[in-house]
Amino acid sequence: MLNPSPEKGKIVSIKVLDRLKQALINEGLVTKENLRDAVITARHENKTLSEILVKLGFVTEKQLVRLIGEKVPAPHVNIKNYSIDSRILALISEKIARRYNIIPLFKIEDVLTVAMSGPMDIISIDEISAVAGCRVEAVIASKESINVAIDQWYGMGDARRELIEQLTEEFKEIKGEEKAKHTREIAELRLKQEAAEPLIVKLVNSYIAQAILEGASDIHLEPKRDSMAVRFRIDGFLHTRHRLPAKFINRVTSRIKIMSALDISKRRIPQDGRVSLIIRDKRVDIRTSTFPSMHGENIVLRILDKSKGVPTLSELNLSDEDLNTFKKVIRATKGMILATGPTGSGKTTTICSLISALNKEDKNIMTIEDPIEYEIEGIVQSGVDLKAGITFANALRSILRQDPDVIYVGEIRDIETAEIAVRAALTGHLVLSTLHTNDAVGTITRLIDIGVETGLIGSALNCSFAQRLVRRVCQRCKKAYQPEGRLLKSLGLPPDTRFFRGKRCEFCAGIGYKGRVGIFEILVITRDIRRLIAKQASGDKIMETAKKQGMKTLFENGLLKAKRGITTLGEVLRVTAEDK
């Protein structure tokens, strides 16, 4: 991204600071001697001039902020819009950056622009200018965003600069040895050695740590012609976080493949692997997938944070009606509860919340999953292992011989698994599983398509629910607004209906959203619905009857959450566009 340059004339300069100091003197707040003493004390105590002026009682913080606001028209910026060159970072050491809570952004000719966290810090700009050895101009950013930028750019920047220097020297050594010996074995051995270098290890680990810190579900490492893009999937959307020069692609790729127990010599075929890490006392499982592309191997790391507990039903942001419905359907001692929705729609999390609610000492709960995403104490969990011959179907057969009360089957994919699950539900077991369909009624159609008899479906199925994930509107900056009348009319809503949207702040990284929440469509199989299934009624007829009995569609459920300020109207329309 290009570095945006603030409007000329609206940036703090040394001359402006001189006028600011003179204003302090003119208003009788300080004397020249006071300023001189404050500068000496600030340097002695390793603090900013503004802190010392307030500490010594010369001025109050309120007085400083007022004067600076009048004399210093500094614009506010979003640091995330800046890609900071390593040469710019070298002008201000990390120690100085942390001391003054600043981050250098860019330099034009002999003027360095830095971001500061507040008007009071601007008074120290002359000291920073002396350190940088050039003129310094300032813009304003939040303290939190500057701290994040310091951690990101100095921590990663120093590692990259050192890495580039060391790797440049080693490239020379490799070229010198190529004439003497050039075999695949030597190249692979060297690549393994390079991948184990502390700086490469630190670089890869820092990407993973940052992704976890930002709540990313996936890390994408995408080789291009002249760089490798590192992108994080956060709340369902990809965001570019880093770029590495192309000459480092092989080493980073090899490091990840070695971590994941993959063959680094095989670059032209897709590979899948796993790795478990401990990061900041958290256990994290990572599923690695590689895929050959034009400029190298494309890598996706799926992050499974094992330290995250299963949310309770009350933590799912369910409406009171939906919460009571779920509590009612899990009271059954037999039958099936099916969750449906596309991959990544939160089905597994909701199912595990239901299982946790069922998890009592007097119950035997067993699962077969692919993979095990949540570890739940007190239940028996197992995973699909195709190499060992463990599939959903044959594992389910074995589980039925283990005297279970509740069974969770990760997914019903075929007639064999479906028939065993239905039979288990009809013989005194409560079975929970997932399917891939668009809506709750679609589970019935899907089971019929797989080959399950309609009579068995009506008898075994207790409940099916569809789910989607919408981004949660930032709770710190959300504001109410009224959409255009035409839009409200097209949605069948009153003209005075209000919704909420994020104004964008540092907490949500200027996105307006923070986190995700589910919207639901819960179909309870009543006596009337069972009769319709037995008659092989159409999905539309079943849907019509279910809505008459009180079922809310995904869109209707989402609309309620949007009105309550949990999500936005735009998000609801986005995720339900194909279902309406």
- DSSP annotation of 336 reads E
pLDDT at residue number 280: 60
Helix locations, 49-195, DSSP H: 49-55, 61-71, 86-89, 94-100, 125-132, 143-149, 155-178, 184-195
The predicted-structure confidence for 550-564, as pLDDT tens digits, reads as follows 999 999 999 999 999
Can you give the pLDDT at residue 517? 96
Is residue 253 classed exposed, middle or buried when 0-12, 13-18 and 19+ CB atoms within 10 A define those classes?
Answer: buried
- What CATH fold (topology level) applies to the domain 14-143? GMP Synthetase; Chain A, domain 3 (3.30.300)
Q: 430 has which bridge partners?
A: 335, 406
Q: What is the pLDDT of residue 428?
A: 96
pLDDT at 488: 93
CATH superfamily of 313-470+517-556: P-loop containing nucleotide triphosphate hydrolases (3.40.50.300)
What crossing angle do the helices spanning 125-132 and 32-45 adopt, rounded to 10°? 60
Enumerate helices (H) and strands (E) in the chain, giving the number of each. Answer: 23, 18
Cβ burial of 456 (10 Å; 0-12, 13-18, 19+) is middle
Tell me the C-alpha distance between 171 and 545, whole Å. 71
- Residue 178 has a pLDDT of 39
Strand arrangement, sheet containing 135-140 = 102-108, 111-116, 135-140
Q: What is the structure's pLDDT at 41?
A: 79
**For residue 441, what is the DSSP state?**
T
Q: 183-305: which CATH topology?
A: Beta-Lactamase (3.30.450)
Pairwise CA distance, residues 385 & 388, whole Å? 5
pLDDT given for residue 270 in this prediction? 95
pLDDT at 579: 65
Domain ranges, ordered by start, for the chain: 14-143, 183-305, 313-470+517-556
Q: Is 397 exposed, middle or buried (0-12, 13-18, 19+ CB in 10 A)?
A: middle
Listed in order, strand segments (DSSP E) in 379-474 are 380-383, 406-409, 430-435, 461-473
Residues of the chain with pLDDT under 70: 1-19, 46, 48, 61, 65, 68-75, 81, 118-124, 126, 155-199, 279-282, 506, 509, 578-580
